Structure 1
Amino acid sequence: MSQARECRVSWCPRPVRKYTASGLCDTCWTWSSRHGGEDPESPKRRRHQPPPADGRCTVVEEGERCTEPHRAKGKCNAHWLREWKHGDLHKRRRSNGELQTLVAAAARYSGTDCVLAPCDHSRPTVRYRGETVPASRAVWIEATGEDPGDRQVLHTCHQGEEGCISIRHLYLGDHARNMADMTEAERQARGETNGNAELTEPLVCEMRALHATGDWSQRALARRFNVSQGTVHQVVTRKTWKHVK
């Protein structure tokens, strides 16, 4: 049996994700897709910690290293749970009272920088006036006294996924405006970062080059690249893969 390839990210030891030509593991692929196809090697990305080589907990107490098997974050089950409850393992573990204090401060904030609330793979939420709502929505109500109703609270800074709740960066809009913001911020998965992609960027370039010669019909290209004729039409007319020049 052939050995699974490692992720193409230089410091990531995880195996490559199945059913994709990106050469990324699940973790790196998910990060890239959530950041508009940005390269997971980006220096602004926080690296995930590889498991210990010997599979043991890395915590050292009173000069002796723990002998229990590793679970996560370099720690065994007992140390991982201790940090989860009392340390700084999960940002979203912060108490609701602290979040409400942060919401009140963000509603009064007059600076230009982002005010970041703790979040973990999703936009931060807070218990506000008897119900759980997005923290940005609570800030809007706190600052303006206006309930957005069916409208959505959007971000001019495009940092909602990172937890920004500054009132100076919030405005109201509908679903269409939200989708337009996502496109402007390039947060949507595109190209090879899309799990349903049938082609890669080099194949797209080759397909367009062959079609431009006039010697290849869309049906012939579909047979050559083993895709549907509709897919070829979308590619050569630049209705898809628009970011590929």
Structure 2
Amino acid sequence: MKLNCVVVDDSTIHRITVAKLVNEHPDLTLVGDFSNASDARNCILNKSVDLLFLDIEMPVQTGFDLLDGLKSRPQIIFVSSKSDYALKAFDYAAVDYLHKPVNKERFYKAVQKAIEMHQMKNDGAEEEAEFIFVKSNLKNFKVYISKIKWIEAFGDYVKINTEDDTHLVLSTMKSFENDLPPDKFLRVHKSFIINIDKVQRFNSKFAEIGKTQIPLSRNKKEDLANALNKPS
């Protein structure tokens, strides 16, 4: 699984440099790069962000101000031209502290730490996570509910699309819908059930999960809007 990354730096040159390193790394995906804390905060609140490359000294709001305003923080790698803030940075449970200008070797070492920490967190969460067993290709598979993105009708089967894989299961949509927690999943079309937490945006016709557009039945837009606005 790739880590979704955001780069925040008021210096255009340093921001472009780090963004380029992110784009070149096989395990990272750049979802945004910003010159100020305010725009970065909006992105973090509206998208799934796993890793933040964060400058400290910026106009109006510092990197620390950005973090103080977040209830839930992604992993943080600070990027700064000064070492003065290193001690304070680790008060924010930073993965690493990179000095400008950032070189590729040092960048990759910091990223590897973030990947390992992300994997450890996911492995620990999976031990307690809800799951179901499904039978596909004559084998039983353990599928974690939180990893399901959407389910679609596929003839006499249903196709389960997860973060890691897809499974074709002999079942009806109605039967499979009954196995899923109703506060997490919504039938938005006769042929589609979606994981509400995975929806990134929607309009009157489609819900978007990643690059996939899921069709919405005419009366389901309001149901989806209500589900997304419901307190967690």
TM-score by length of 1: 0.29
Higher RCO (CA 8 Å, separation ≥ 6 residues): 1
Give the alignment's TM-score, normalised by structure 2: 0.30
Question: Which structure dedicates a bigger proportion of its chain to strand?
Answer: 2
* Structure with bigger gyration radius: 1
